[in-house]
Structure 1
């Protein structure tokens, strides 16, 4: 796993936990790749980490420099379209959490 290269705190994390439904891919992976590409061009974007298990449970954490940057990404036209498609076609449930990172540390093994 590659870790996002975040700056020294404070910064913000958006934790998106989702359960994929049982439908086919229907463009999900290409949309996810596009959203990462677009988010990485947004002002304030710091990085992303994502994983999904064999049962469809996924966790994506994106890192941002401010609450304002997070809000701008949430309101991005293309991101809003992806959110609607996710609600309609890809997720049976999801939850979004926004946190302020006040401390982090690394341990290489």
Structure 2
């Protein structure tokens, strides 16, 4: 899990990406890291958390605004990764965009 160490100021937005992978890697791990690096430099990016087992992957990215999320979705390198995901890496996926009104943790 890649955790956010800093406390985020609410409200903010979360993009929840759940996926089922195909068997072949075909450059997935390399592209996945490249997308995290690219997203972290996008306006409004606040952080990311991710977990995967053999059946299900869950990645949640955090953003300041819906406009920032839209710009990330439209990023040309991200669009290449999205197409490759549809063609090779995912047998199924779902994207959910949520407004986070409140968060708290053990700390």
Partner of 1:98: 97
Mark the runs of 5 or more structure 2 residues left unpaired by the alignment.
none
- Asked if structure 1 preserves the Cα contact closer than 8 Å seen for 2:48 and 2:61, the reply is yes
* Greater mean alpha carbon deviation, residues 58-67 or residues 1-10: 1-10
- Asked if structure 2 preserves the Cα contact closer than 8 Å seen for 1:6 and 1:46, the reply is no
Partner of 2:82: 83
- Asked if structure 2 preserves the Cα contact closer than 8 Å seen for 1:18 and 1:93, the reply is yes
Equivalents in 1 of 2:38, 2:58: separation in Å? Answer: 19
Say what the alpha-carbon RMSD is for the aligned residues: 1.0
- Asked if structure 2 preserves the Cα contact closer than 8 Å seen for 1:6 and 1:63, the reply is no
Mark the runs of 5 or more structure 1 residues left unpaired by the alignment.
none
Equivalents in 2 of 1:80, 1:14: separation in Å? Answer: 16
Secondary structure in 2 matching 1:3: coil
1:43 aligns with 2:43: yes
Q: TM-score under structure 1 normalisation? A: 0.93
Secondary structure in 1 matching 2:37: helix
Aligned positions, number: 106
* Segments of 4+ moved more than 2 angstroms: none
Shift of 1:106: 1.3
Shift of 1:6: 4.4
Q: TM-score under structure 2 normalisation? A: 0.95
